[in-house]
Structure 1
């Protein structure tokens, strides 16, 4: 057991035993004095926990604070259970002359067996029996367990004979691992020693290779379950890739195969160096400290470091804001670097094990295992490339890059030993940056026919990529503290490269059909791949990362051998890599001015193609569920409008023809209508209406309007669920009146629907046809019958009594409490140049249910007509864009009116922001572009 300072301050076992003895002596039946027993145990447990917490809080940033806390928690539980065990055996159920069958041994297993317990971890116990469970032993076991459960402890337990332990360990990897870490706790010690001897002989001996392979397979499954990335922004510090469980897996393998107690013992067996053991200890201590802080902070066995905990964790651990980076970002960068070091340490250790013990490689690729000859100057060991020795890369520095190119070209692995030597030699890459041959090799890797993401990821893991491209090294483990991005900057960039490669191969033709088609027309693959790699390269520098990234591209292009034209295009793509998504998601792409402004920036079909493919790769690489059919449709529509403009003149020239063509196609879809009925319907809508919806929507709306008119219904609602777009289109046909949009938005919010887009039309018959594209709280289509029924009922309730019903919105809390963790600067931008017919109002604020209702209510109070609303949500931040006119149908030009609009919207944002953060965190920015 680890030495613990002043143990009796945590729990004095003699004192506790004395109190239990006094209780038993004063009781006629000690087995029934459970209430009094609980009072004593609960007091000692609470005092011990308080002392451990006091010690932890006194040194919250200490290198070994977390591990010390874990050892102290284990000691506390040890002493408590030992006293309870003695009470049960000697006082509650004493036996004057127990038989051999009534012997009982108690062992700690699992993490508790290691002597490590986080503040709210489970306690795993093994009651060892010589034979089957006797009535007396059953009484003792139940007495102990019920007392522990009554204390609120989470206890996992098993009662088994030694033979049963052996049988179950042979058939179950989890049990085999738990028993590997068993520790004698109390009771019959010879029985426990018998168990250990048989475990050593029957389970450990000769089974090391099988255990190793089973644990690696288990590790791979666990990683996939946890997201299979060590760079997820809300990591599971225990089960995730690069977390505590990975380090514990290495220790299990070491103990199983080499019978060591601690990792440091592997140095003597030439399996690890002293520096690698130091890296292990550093990572282990850091992760344990994080884990204990997380348990104390949440008051439960929480292992996921979520956004709403990260800021407080950073404060507790002393991470402060620096220029260009927040304290929380510095904490998470430290975490990701630790997770990366855990990956490197795993690779070192497994390579050493393979080299020392196994005849067949752990990572063998069967289809290449028969190859014997060297491959382009590198050794081939079972389908994996390696070199002659540790100093090879010092003598042949260009091979620091070439080995990745050869492995990529032949679809081979790189031997773990070679990966270790690459890490140790990575500093020699610095001298290669100006070598034309090395730069050609890198560009070949980046644009290779075989998976470039895998090659680049390997290069990044060993530190070669960050040294060869120092700007990339700056974003390694760089966190983006928001709820929109799911990965660190480097991980996002590498995933984007992989997605680009999939697009190019046609693997995403169903999800991104236009990008998959136009990528084949791209003139320069080198431009596209380099732009994707560099698009976020300047994040975390405190300025506009697009502009700063373009400067990086200007410097790097010539070094890598790109022409001046190619370099200019890469820099342009990096500078404008957000323009297509911003236009598609925040602007009305049926407005000719929007298309004209966009094409003024793009200027050529080649740039348009490049920009579309980069945008798709960028969005898909943000994280799971970020890309959906709705975004795909908006980007596709923008691409088609821009393509038409760039190839055949301005969009406005074909507007009347497009309306006529739409009406012709609509007429064909309504064969049961008379000509008079169709002409009456066609006369109701303005030209902008016919160009704002796809044909299926126009057909549904036509039938909705006709049925409403025939039945004289005051309110008609239509739903169209689009699973591919992950959206539901909700169309409302009702008499128009002032404030209607705000009331409808409020009804949708009360129903739990999140608005992604709104198109508002007042038809020539005075009726409103308002279409909202909505999702549920999980980002999926709003489609269950119960939800749709609730929406219809809420809509009717709101329209009948809007003042009373919409008052409920004020009480609604945000759907995700994590949004409280992120500062948001409210902003209102009013633009009279973006549209020829409308004033554009762009509002940025913190996301919350009902925000669109409050904003549209403020716009209505300013006597404005809302024609279109575009809603974009980026995690915790929302950007709402409204196309508005005044009551006369004109743009708003008066400075006094513009100021009144800004002020009213800022008041809404500041009122909403006050619900989330202290006043000192809320700042206002109001800008205008007129």
Structure 2
């Protein structure tokens, strides 16, 4: 099958001239040709497809130029620029054109050009066009590097080619933007562009054209090569000594891969889309032939391939730009070389091997290079020629290399280095050394998890965990992480913390429990690297339990002394608690920036503090609940009597509240509530109190306290009103007094994940809305108008419901995991209401697109829900209704 429609240039022009609707004919011609190209995708080299698409558009352009009487003029030329100028077009790429004039056009020419451009739009092409004289182009190119770059890639489609040649000559490096100026400007342009994408190849929804490791980075190399060497081919970099044949092969393979992805992305979206949005990733994985495996989704396999290609291109780009820098910008600079040791020297502040055979003769130097970089923080980097040698010789890393004590000692030196550990591990990963030395780490490079919770690939997340650990050494982090910084300085061996960070997620993607599998890997690592048995057991324990503290803090009631005691027993001693706390803080902050907020920080701090107290008390001497209750009552009573409140009046108020309240609330909050209840003017109205919980022990969120007669739908009405106010509920404590009143505390954050603050107008709005809602809880609006976020709609999160009885606390726990959406808590509350169930407590956690909420419930008599049939019906109803809502994407 011929790739292009079987029609000559003259025949196409005749067809356009004869057609009653030439624009429609041209549109159909392009559509039919594109369909043929799409059908050929599986069997045709992508370069051929991209060039064929450009060739097909060429045919239409040339025919249209003639159609409007422009072909025989010597004072105008139709010039392709940009990607089109290179003869590369994807299905929906912009078609960039320059209408180049010798002089300002007369009216007749203006009219013809306007009809020509209108025709191009009429036939459905995305046109980017400019109409300029030769002099105008020269003036613009002198001031704008983008214009100068476009002109470099220009080719004449129709008209007078001499005009383009004159333009090329007048804008050449002899007249403007010499090699040095051009390279410096393009390098700065790339630096600015990369910053827009956080300087990482691993964005959750990457831009395959503009992000680091994208197509633009390849074009950057080509532009510089063309300007300096006057070559139109990337392959010429081999003959000029900038790329080895093997490196060129990698570059070509990566470029072809990105072209294939972009081609299918355009076909799928039917527009010039270059972002791999969640909307498209699954379908692209199918189009490119990926399939689900036992451990990973097809989309995860696809994105892993993409990220690895982006990383490879990014490294090549980095290496080539450094080589260009030496040849173009620093060719006249006197080199300063000083020896570092027998194997390495420093050239112009860059580390390099002292002779080309160093890695061949001394394989351990493959690790030594990074140890030296860490020991000499003044070095700017590793010289490009040494990077090339590192990448080439990494094939020497095998089991014998990994088990060599010299090499294991070097790696431990790096982990113990006082400087730049994260930077060197990241460098090792980029150059393929870390993945070879630790094959288990190599398996997770580029691995993504298709959710909104984990916004980094596993390898990027892992190294970011270590970076967060290292940052705790700095004084400027003490304010943001005061407790973690203090605890970090008490750790006897920080390298054990770094090893646990390196291995905590290393077994992801294998199937099975990654914590258990990772612990086995960690033990093997510690044994191979000469750590003591105790050290190895600690690292393995940390890897095995790296989720335990965050799960306990976020999903269990840590105001319950039994919960704290159980966690203290699992931790065992203060050393394990300290290491685990720092690992947990670093892990959460490296998973998703939105996860770490003041509320989560306060939960972890509270759990750490209470566990530390329990450990000091002794695990054989747990605190009794009644002692806890009595201490809380006495402390709250002292606060109130100090403020001249009457003791008997307080005791009368407290008599009907019940012990649960004094177990769950702090003395300061009880005093705050009690004072407001004693002083309120209208006992018939609901009482709504709001303040920053930073004023109490529970720092980190805004507290909303509600005192009102208990009704069956009170929880549903309350959470619906809070949701409608744009607040996120982090925690809920629902307590019903003996005399039928509800004393409810909600910890909330605003939409930015921060407390409300001292925004008194906002506080009054919240108070008024809740007061009006709670006066008539039966009348609340049952729907929330906020839309589900775009990203959430593309995830399938089947609802999971686990119901179990908490015998110690005489209540039932309902653990619900489902797709997060506006109004979720209110819907769950309505289901509980239908089943005549009361919510006594709730832990609310939103992890990306997933809501993981735990509700502690009782029946109307305050007893656990023990009927197996009722529990089964509740479980089925929750699953069916929440899944129906999720599938509706409301």
SS in 1 for 2:172: helix
* CA deviation after TM superposition for structure 1 residue 832, in Å: 3.1
| Alignment correspondent of 2:95 | 123
- In the other structure, the counterpart of 1:42 is 24
What are the superposed Cα offsets for residues 605-653 of structure 1, whole Å, 9 maximum, x if unpaired?
1111111100011111113323221211111111111111111243446
Matched residue, 1:26: none
My pick for the range that moved more, 144-153 or 589-598, is 144-153
Partner Cα distance (1:508, 1:906) in 2: 43
Matched residue, 1:923: none
Change (3 A) 1:6 1:766: closer
Q: Show the counterpart of 2:852.
A: 879
What's the counterpart of residue 360 of structure 2? 394
User: How do residues 407-422 of structure 1 correspond to structure 2 at under 5 angstroms?
Assistant: 407-411=373-377, 412=379, 413-422=381-390
C-alpha separation in 2, matches of 1:881 and 1:286: 45
Q: 2:410: which partner in 1?
A: 441
What's the CA shift string for 1:362-393, capped at 9, x where partnerless?
Answer: 9x9xxxx9773435741110111111344320
- Cα 1:720–1:815 change in 2 (3 A) is farther
Kindly tell me: are residues 182 and 786 of structure 1, through their superposed partners in 2, closer, same or farther at Cα, counting changes over 3 Å? farther
Q: Conserved in 2, the CA contact under 8 Å of 1:361 and 1:382?
A: no
Q: Counterpart in 1 of 2:264? A: 293
Distance in structure 2 (CA, Å) of the matches to 1:773 and 1:136: 72
1:571 maps to: 540
Tell me if the contact between 2:173 and 2:179 (Cα under 8 Å) persists in the aligned partners. Answer: no
CA contact (8 A) 1:704 1:716 kept: no
Give 1:926's aligned residue.
none
Query: Given that residues 332 and 479 in structure 1 are in contact (C-alpha distance below 8 angstroms), is that contact kept between their aligned partners in structure 2?
Result: yes
- Residue 52 of structure 1 corresponds to which residue in structure 2? 34
Write out per-residue CA displacement over residues 256-308 of structure 1, whole angstroms, 9 at most, x where no aligned residue: 11111121122222222222222122111111111122222223322221223
Aligned length: 880
- Give the Cα–Cα distance (whole angstroms) in 1 for the partners of residues 546 and 869 of structure 2: 36
Of 201, 211, 215 in structure 2, the residue corresponding to residue 244 of structure 1 is: 215
Deviations 1:173-223 (A, max 9, x none): 222222222222323322122111212254567x21222222222212211
SS in 1 for 2:473: helix
User: Could you tell me how far apart the structure 2 residues matched to 1:672 and 1:228 are?
Assistant: 60
Cα displacement (A) at 1:113: 1.8
Moved more, 795-804 or 348-357: 795-804
In structure 2, distance between residues paired with 1:907 and 1:463: 48
Offset of 1:589 from its aligned partner? Answer: 0.7
Residues 107 and 832 of structure 1: CA distance in aligned 2, closer, same or farther (over 3 Å): same
Q: Is the 8 A contact 2:527 2:536 kept in 1?
A: yes
Q: Per-residue CA shift, 1:61-102, capped at 9, x if unaligned?
A: 45733x4444344334333333333344459xx9xxx8x8xx
Note the 1:475-494 alignment, pairs <5 A: 475-494=444-463
Matched with 1:324 is: 295
CA distance in 2, matches of 1:819, 1:598: 34
Q: CA deviation at 1:755?
A: 2.9
1:516-574 residue CA offsets vs partner (Å, 9 max, x unmatched): 11111112212111001110010001100001111111111111111000000100000
Map of 1:119-158 to 2, 5 A cutoff? 119-132=91-104, 134-151=106-123, 153-158=125-130
Instruction: Assess, with a 3 A threshold, how the Cα gap between structure 1 residues 697 and 128 changes in structure 2: closer, same or farther.
Output: farther
Aligned equivalents of 1:344, 1:761: Cα separation in 2 = 58
Structure 1 residue 802, shift from structure 2 partner: 6.9
- Residue aligning to 1:841: 814
| Residues 1:581 and 2:561 aligned together | no
Q: 2:230 aligns with which of 256, 259, 271?
A: 259
Residue in structure 2 matching 1:534, options 496, 503, 507: 503
- 1:232 paired with 2:203, answer yes
Show the 5 A alignment for 1:563-642. 563-642=532-611
Q: 1:738 to 1:438 in 2, by over 3 A?
A: same
Query: Which segment drifts farther, 268-277 or 469-478?
Result: 268-277
Instruction: Give the Cα–Cα distance (whole angstroms) in 1 for the partners of residues 171 and 498 of structure 2.
Output: 55
8 Å CA contact 1:708–1:716 kept in 2: the answer is no
Given candidates 42, 60, 65, the residue that maps to 1:85 is: 65
Are the equivalent residues in 2 in contact too, given 1:584–1:634 (CA < 8 A)? yes
Q: Which residue of 1 aligns with 2:55?
A: 75
Shift of 1:229: 1.2
CA distance in 2, matches of 1:721, 1:176: 58
What is the CA deviation profile of residues 784-812 of structure 1, one whole-angstrom value per residue up to 9, with x for unaligned ones? 99988987787678668877865545xx7
Contact map agreement 2:636 2:670 (CA 8 A) in 1? no
Are 1:217 and 2:217 matched, yes or no?
Answer: no
State the 1:663 CA deviation. Answer: 1.6
Unaligned 5+ segments in structure 2 are: none
What corresponds to 1:736 in structure 2?
A: 710
Let me know the Cα RMSD of the aligned residues. Answer: 3.5
- 8 A Cα contact 1:842 1:879, kept in partner: yes
TM-score (normalised: structure 1) = 0.87
Q: 1:423 pairs with 385, 391, 402, which one?
A: 391
1:183 aligns with 2:155: yes
Q: Aligned-pair distance for 1:55?
A: 2.4
Match of 1:503 among 458, 467, 472: 472
Cα distance in 1, alignment partners of residues 590 and 529 from structure 2 = 25
SS of 2:591's partner is: coil
Match in the other structure for 1:336: 307
Is the CA contact (8 Å cut-off) linking 2:50 and 2:89 kept in structure 1? yes
Task: Identify which of 45, 51, 57 aligns with 1:64.
Answer: 45
Q: Is 2:831 the counterpart of 1:863?
A: no
C-alpha separation between the residues in 2 aligned to 1:61 and 1:729? 59
Contact 2:34–2:91 under 8 Å retained in 1: no
CA distance, structure 2, for counterparts of residue 134 and residue 22 of structure 1:
28
Q: C-alpha separation between the residues in 2 aligned to 1:442 and 1:498?
A: 17
Contact 1:64–1:286 (8 Å) recurs in 2: no
Change (3 A) 1:702 1:214: farther
How far has the Cα of 1:769 moved from its partner? 3.5
The structure 2 residue matched to 1:757, chosen from 708, 712, 731, is 731
Which of 338, 345, 348 is equivalent to 1:382? 348
**Counterparts in 2 of 1:129 and 1:856: CA distance versus 1, 3 Å:** same
Compared with structure 1, are the counterparts of its residues 410 and 800 closer, same or farther at alpha carbon in structure 2 (3 Å cutoff)? same
Is the 8 Å Cα contact of residues 788 and 889 (structure 2) preserved in structure 1?
no
Cα 1:90–1:128 shift into 2, 3 Å: closer
Question: What is aligned with 1:922?
Answer: none
Assess if the C-alpha contact under 8 Å between 1:166 and 1:202 holds in 2: no
Distance 1:115 1:222 in 2: 24
- Judging changes above 3 Å, is the alpha-carbon distance between structure 1 residues 679 and 47 closer, same or farther for their aligned structure 2 residues? farther
Q: Which residue is equivalent to 2:254?
A: 283
Q: Which moved more, 1:263-272 or 1:516-525?
A: 263-272
Segment drifting more, 561-570 vs 250-259: 250-259
- Further displaced range: 779-788 or 530-539: 779-788
Contact 2:41 2:49 in 1 (8 A): no
SS at match of 1:773: strand
In 2 relative to 1, CA 741–381 (structure 1 residues): closer, same or farther, beyond 3 Å? same
Per the alignment, residue 240 of structure 2 pairs with 269
Distance 2:424 2:281 in 1: 32
Q: Partner residue of 1:17? A: 13
Q: Give 2:401's match in structure 1, choosing from 432, 436, 439.
A: 432
